[in-house]
Amino acid sequence: MRRHLEFLEESGHLFVANASGLIAPEKTESLQNQSMVKLRSTDSRDSADNETRRSLVSERGEFKRSAKDKALALEAIAKKVSNCRLCRLCEGRTNAVPGEGSATARVMFIGEGPGATEDELGRPFVGRAGQLLTKIIESGMGLKREDVFIANIVKCRPPENRDPQPDEVAACLPYLNKQIEVIDPEVIIPLGRHSMREFAGVGEKDTISRVRGKVYPVHGRSVIPTFHPAYLLRNPPEKVKVWADIQLAMKELGLPIPKQNGSTP
């Protein structure tokens, strides 16, 4: 067992307790064993009610850490991501994109994977879609971009911006799950269908259009899937739906909804 744990730790898929506040191996093992989780929409008619999904996301508040320890833990994860070669996506990357934002964020936005600009700069959501996401956060939520945490399901750019493949997602997800555990956000907003499927417990055929507009309670967190900003750039009229989803998130966070000047962000 010890050798197995050492292998996982070396490969970046086990984060052992140390000064940076990461968790003990036995705790990680218990999390990895807690595999089948029933997820429910607040709308009992939703088909997600019948879906059982694998989730490694920890229970909210399960691991208490100071802000400093959280920041150190996120740095340690980012370092592992930058050196990671666990899937083929490492071969074409310029930079890995671990994610960025507040270590104590109350809300996390999670996209699918880095694009060209993100790969070039090593930062998430900094292209045109990222500018729109920043506008949603700042104008729509009245927060600063640095108040939230922004990450992706896969941390390296898929070639030609293709969809991440299941084995790539499986290889990369432990990093994201660890970031969620460390930050411990109240609200998770998956952006786009790949991200939504990892968190909202929906089926392969479910689309964002079908499952958005609802709050999915997952381990004490509120998961609120919505459209990817890149989709909104191609379909501006859909912004009104994202605005509705953002208002749901604000309600979950107990924050006032900023007044809009008659338009969506």
- Alpha-carbon gap, residue 201 to 198, rounded angstroms: 7
- Which letter does DSSP use for residue 139 in this model? I
Which CB, 156 or 189, lies closer to ligand SF4?
Answer: 156
> Rg of the chain over CA atoms, in angstroms?
18
Residue 224, class by beta-carbon neighbours within 10 Å (0-12 exposed, 13-18 middle, 19+ buried)?
buried
Minimum Å gap between C-beta 116 and ligand SF4 is: 16
Residue 143, class by beta-carbon neighbours within 10 Å (0-12 exposed, 13-18 middle, 19+ buried)?
buried
Which CB, 84 or 129, lies closer to ligand SF4?
Answer: 84
Minimum Å gap between C-beta 141 and ligand SF4 is: 28
Binding residues vs ligand SF4 (CB under 6 A):
81, 84-87, 89-90, 96, 154-156, 168, 171-172
Which CB, 78 or 242, lies closer to ligand SF4?
Answer: 78
Which CB, 97 or 187, lies closer to ligand SF4?
Answer: 97
Minimum Å gap between C-beta 82 and ligand SF4 is: 8
Minimum Å gap between C-beta 154 and ligand SF4 is: 4
- Alpha-carbon gap, residue 32 to 61, rounded angstroms: 17
